[in-house]
Structure 1
Amino acid sequence: MIEIRWHGRGGQGGVVASRIAAKAAFYEGYYSQAFPFFGAERRGAPVTAFTRISKEEIKLRSQIYEPDIIVIMDPALVRSEDSWKGLKNGGIVVANSEKLEPMGRPSKIAIVNATRIALDLGLVSEGLPRPNTAMVGAFSKVTGLISLENVKKAILDVLGPRIAKINIDAAERAYNETKVIEL
């Protein structure tokens, strides 16, 4: 089983990103689950979401404390020890950042400026960029667990046709712009 923990802030779409990744994994033939953890439910507050992907049925229903993969959607959270907490040795970190100093012992780091992509494409809500679909595109590239085609299909399914195109563009652009660093 692969366990993914998503770190962001309320309004950035982290919960939706975890759902899109789980749906894309389902299209790949995996079992998957996605669920959020909220503290104070307000825009800008830290939000954690979780995704599990497995070849076998998933019966576990707890939070993820030792993730294989961490996705950090807010650049301000990149330097937070809480974001990196529990990452398995040899894990993967996908970050909305232009550069990254690793904490712990990841085997790969992927960086993409998802905020810039969101702003360029107009993926903004109440003045704040929504980097979520860009981060799913970056996740697809670095992990290889889900194809970009299935990410696009999942975006359409989860978000609906009215807003899917711009979000598919964000995922595709992030996929192409993500820099993967092997450690």
Structure 2
Amino acid sequence: MIEIRLHGRGGQGGVTSAELLARAAIAEGKFAQAFPSFGPERRGAPVMAFVRVDDKKIRIREKVYNPDVVLVLDPTLLDIVDVSEGLKEGGTVVVNTGQSPDELKKKYGFPKVACVDANKVALEELGVPITNTTMLGALLRATGIVEVDHMEAVIADRFGPKLGPKNYNALKRAHGETRAA
């Protein structure tokens, strides 16, 4: 089983990202679950979401305490939240940033890092700095948890004929631009 914890801010689409990833995994014949963790937070407050994917039924029904992968939608969270808390040995942190993976490893001590400037990609592809689908591209590059092509139908279903193709293009572009160390 692979367990993923997503860190973002309310309104950035972290919960949607978790749902999209789980739906794509299920479409591939895997078992998956996705769920948020937030209370009465307002837009912009730190939030988390969780995803589990496995080849067999998932019986755990609690938040992810020891993720294999952490996805960070908003890089400002790196200095206010310990995003690597509980990260499994050899785990990967995927970050939305223009910094290099080596810079992040040195500054935060992450074991493995993948990063992409998702804000730039989202602005250029979508016209808004909402990075949820863009960061899914980085996550898929770092993990291979589902095939990139399997995200297209899920994204089209969620975002419709106008925004679906733009979001899928942002995902594919981020997948190609992701750097890892």
Is the Cα–Cα contact under 8 Å of residues 123 and 131 in structure 1 kept in the other structure?
Answer: no
Tell me how far apart the structure 1 counterparts of residues 80 and 55 of structure 2 sit (CA, whole Å): 32
Aligned pairs, number: 176
Q: State how far apart, in whole Å, the 1-side matches of 2:130 and 2:38 are.
A: 18
Gaps of 5+ in 1: none
Contact 1:84–1:104 under 8 Å retained in 2: no
How many angstroms does 1:23 deviate by?
1.1
* 1:85 positional shift: 0.8
Cross-structure match for 1:101: 104
Equivalent runs, 1:15-94 vs 2, <5 Å: 15-94=15-94
Deviates more, 1:114-123 or 1:88-97: 114-123
Hey, what's the Cα distance between the residues in 2 that align with 1:74 and 1:34? 19
TM-score, normalisation: structure 1? 0.90
- For residues 152-171 of structure 1, the aligned pairs below 5 Å read 152-171=152-171
Which structure shows the bigger proportion of residues in helix conformation?
2
Q: How does 1:137-156 map to 2 (within 5 A)?
A: 137-156=137-156
Q: Which residue of 2 aligns with 1:172?
A: 172
Q: What percentage of aligned pairs have identical amino acids?
A: 45
Question: What SS is found at the alignment partner of 1:3?
Answer: strand
Which stretch shows the higher mean deviation, 166-175 or 153-162? 153-162
Give the TM-score normalised by the residue count of structure 2: 0.91
Root-mean-square deviation (CA), in Å?
1.5
| Cα distance in 1, alignment partners of residues 19 and 122 from structure 2 | 19
Preserved contact between residue 112 and residue 177 of structure 1 (Cα < 8 Å): yes
Q: How does 1:124-135 map to 2 (within 5 A)?
A: 124=128, 129-135=129-135
